[in-house]
């Protein structure tokens, strides 16, 4: 059995997955009848199998004898639920000998972007309008989960309301940021004039999974950076 994608590949919505199944019987033959050869698809999320019948060959297929045939099947990814699928071949000959030993083909369908569940700042839930001065670092941590594949990258887009420009910072993957949680991506943002200009910043989370499903729906967060002391313009005494 062959697919138009590599075995164990992760795919997303759109298009078709094509299968070619070579079947031969050296003694009798596999009859060209619908349902004699089937492909069984089992989703790891619910462990239930459904069968699909491939196209019946119209002539002698590739092989060493006239008893060899190539069966073809195209299945639309839109008809499948997310999950990891194993594919088993069922082949029956004219005397009802059934072979279902070939089940080493697999692929994963993921159509849902990663889910952002928490955004933390200095280990507390990030709220709007929090104020920060120069010096030290601001720990930004994002909890990301993907129920089918995995998060591949997480960025934070920071937009200064003063100049309405956005710049991105890349968060370190779990295991590389010093935090124990296996779902947390984090970075230390330097609170300095070299990194930030004074003003209010809005934050948007951009996260991608391994098949480029992107989530950028979390963007209602903000903080204020102020590194400049108040300016004294007048000192009056007795109104003079």
Residue 64's pLDDT is: 43
Judged against a pLDDT cut of 80, whether residue 221 lies above it is answered with yes
Instruction: List pLDDT tens digits, range 61-111.
Output: 444 444 567 889 999 999 999 999 999 999 988 788 899 999 999 999 999
**100 is written with which tokens?**
């279902």
Q: How many residues does the chain have?
A: 240
Burial of 38 (0-12, 13-18, 19+ CB in 10 A): buried
Residue 73's pLDDT is: 92
Residue 180's pLDDT is: 55
Q: Residue 105 pairs with which residues in a beta bridge?
A: 87
Q: How confident is the model at residue 216 (pLDDT cuts 50, 70, 90)?
A: very high
Q: How confident is the model at residue 194 (pLDDT cuts 50, 70, 90)?
A: confident
Distances 5 to 43, 104, 145 between C-alpha atoms, Å: 18, 14, 26
Instruction: List pLDDT tens digits, range 110-149.
Output: 999 999 988 887 755 545 557 778 887 888 889 999 989 9
Residue 219's pLDDT is: 86
User: What is the percent of the chain with per-residue pLDDT over 90, rounded to a whole number?
Assistant: 41
Mean pLDDT confidence for 175-197:
79
CA dihedral 208, 210, 213, 219 (to 10 degrees): -10
Q: E strand or H helix at 119, and its extent?
A: strand 115-121
Residue 63's pLDDT is: 44
More confident residue, 20 or 133: 20
Residue 239's pLDDT is: 66
- Residue 23 CA to residue 102 CA, distance in Å, equals 11
Indicate the range of 27-31, 80-84, 146-150, 204-208 predicted with least confidence.
Answer: 27-31
């Amino acid at each position: 059995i062959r697919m138009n994608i590599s075995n164990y590949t992760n795919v997303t919505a759109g298009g078709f997955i094509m299968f070619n199944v070579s079947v031969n019987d050296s003694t009798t033959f596999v009859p060209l009848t619908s349902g004699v050869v089937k492909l069984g698809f089992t989703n790891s999320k619910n462990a239930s199998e459904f069968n699909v019948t491939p196209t019946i060959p119209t002539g002698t297929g590739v092989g060493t004898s006239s008893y060899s045939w190539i069966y073809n099947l195209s299945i639309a990814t839109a008809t499948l639920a997310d999950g990891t699928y194993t594919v088993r071949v069922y082949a029956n000959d004219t005397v009802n000998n059934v072979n279902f030993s070939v089940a080493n083909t697999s692929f994963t369908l993921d159509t849902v972007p990663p889910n952002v569940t928490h955004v933390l700042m200095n280990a507390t839930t990030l709220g709007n309008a929090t104020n920060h001065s120069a010096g030290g670092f601001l720990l930004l941590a994002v909890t990301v989960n993907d129920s089918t594949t995995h998060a591949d990258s997480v960025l934070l887009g920071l937009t200064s309301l003063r100049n309405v420009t956005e710049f991105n910072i890349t968060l370190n993957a779990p295991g590389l940021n010093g935090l124990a949680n296996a779902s947390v991506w984090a970075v230390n943002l330097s609170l300095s004039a070299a990194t930030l200009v004074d003003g209010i910043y809005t934050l948007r989370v951009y996260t991608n999974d391994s098949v480029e499903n992107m989530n950028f729906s979390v963007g209602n967060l903000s903080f204020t950076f102020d590194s400049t002391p108040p300016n004294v313009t007048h000192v009056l005494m007795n109104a003079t």
